[in-house]
Amino acid sequence: MTRILVMTDSTCDLPRPWLERYDIRVVPTYVHFGLESLADDGVQLTRTTFYERLTAHKETVTTSAPPVGQVLEVMSKALAEADHVIALTAPSKLSGIFNTFRLAAEQTAPDRVTLIDSGTLSMGLGWLVLMAAERAAAGLSPVAIAEDIRQTLPRVEVWAALDTFEYLKRSGRVSWAKAAMGELFQIKPIIRLYDGVVSSVTRARTSQRAFGTLVDLVRAAAPLDRLAVMHSNFPEGGERLAQALADLSPNSEIPRVNVTPVIGVHVGPHGLGAAVIRSAG
């Protein structure tokens, strides 16, 4: 049987037990506090420490894709241990990560690497990575796995209710956010990530209304094949959101994920989100 390994980048937010169970290879992206660069690997920069530093740091905090050499190292090792590698990445419209993976694939064995632009982040990407790994474990071919993933992409939705516009504006990755004045009026933006594009769904005057809007968006997407809750260092909010959505979960428990620092730079602390795969048909 053909052995297939799945690899991705650290924006996937997939919980470690799943990464370890399916031997999923993860390449860390980077967070920069001024001249200090830290790998988003949970070791150089833990999530709790990151959010503490983010709120205290006066200078702009930035992010970057991993260097090609680092992706090449992980990909080469995976190819040495498997017949084929399926690599899923953050959206090419938002990050240089996809292009870095592409360059690495070109320098290894392009015919043995299937590269997919997920168009999504956090557990939106995480669900796709897990799906690919599950299908690889079940013995599907690389072609069949890639086709399943591509058929699923239009059904992946990620929403987030942010505590402030400030970090989204600072990041410069979302053009419409630069002109937003929400922080002046304590307005809470609700955003959608779909097909690599971050758009504004609406704005709420209070955190409670933002929470209610987020719940309504997820409910409107049901029935669901997958559901995860994300938060940016706001575990009590994540728990409350999971409880509000418990009846929609296709599984016994909804994963709660503290979003990884490289995403946290752009959304800021005290945010909530949900990642779903809508049921087909």
Instruction: Let me know whether 136 and 160 are in one domain.
Output: no
**CATH number of the structural domain spanning residue 131:** 3.40.50.10170
What is the pLDDT at residue 273? 98
Instruction: Let me know whether 160 and 127 are in one domain.
Output: no
**CATH number of the structural domain spanning residue 178:** 3.30.1180.10
Which has the closest alpha carbon to 255: 232, 230, 279? 230
Average pLDDT over residues 207-236: 97
Average pLDDT over residues 162-173: 78
What is the pLDDT at residue 124? 98
Asked whether the whole model's pTM tops 0.85, one would answer yes
Alpha-carbon distance of 32 to 147, in angstroms, equals 36
**Helices of type H across 64-197:** 68-81, 97-106, 122-137, 142-152, 166-171
pLDDT digits (tens, 9 = 90+) for 237-276: 999 999 999 999 887 789 999 999 999 999 999 999 999 9
List, in sequence order, every beta strand (DSSP E) within the chain: 4-9, 25-27, 30-33, 36-39, 61-64, 84-89, 113-117, 156-161, 188-194, 197-204, 224-231, 256-258, 272-278
Domain that includes residue 98, residue range: 4-32+64-152
Please indicate, yes or no, if residue 139 is contained in any of the structural domains. Answer: yes
Instruction: Let me know whether 135 and 170 are in one domain.
Output: no
Average pLDDT over residues 140-149: 98
30, 241 Cβ separation under 8 angstroms: no
Instruction: Let me know whether 207 and 88 are in one domain.
Output: no
Query: How many domains would you assign to the chain?
Result: 2
Instruction: Let me know whether 160 and 111 are in one domain.
Output: no
pLDDT digits (tens, 9 = 90+) for 27-62: 999 999 988 999 999 999 899 899 999 988 877 899
pLDDT digits (tens, 9 = 90+) for 66-87: 999 999 999 999 999 999 999 9
88, 125 Cβ separation under 8 angstroms: yes
Please indicate, yes or no, if residue 88 is contained in any of the structural domains. Answer: yes
What is the pLDDT at residue 175? 55
**Angle subtended at Cα 27 by Cα 26 and Cα 32, rounded to the nearest 5 degrees:** 130
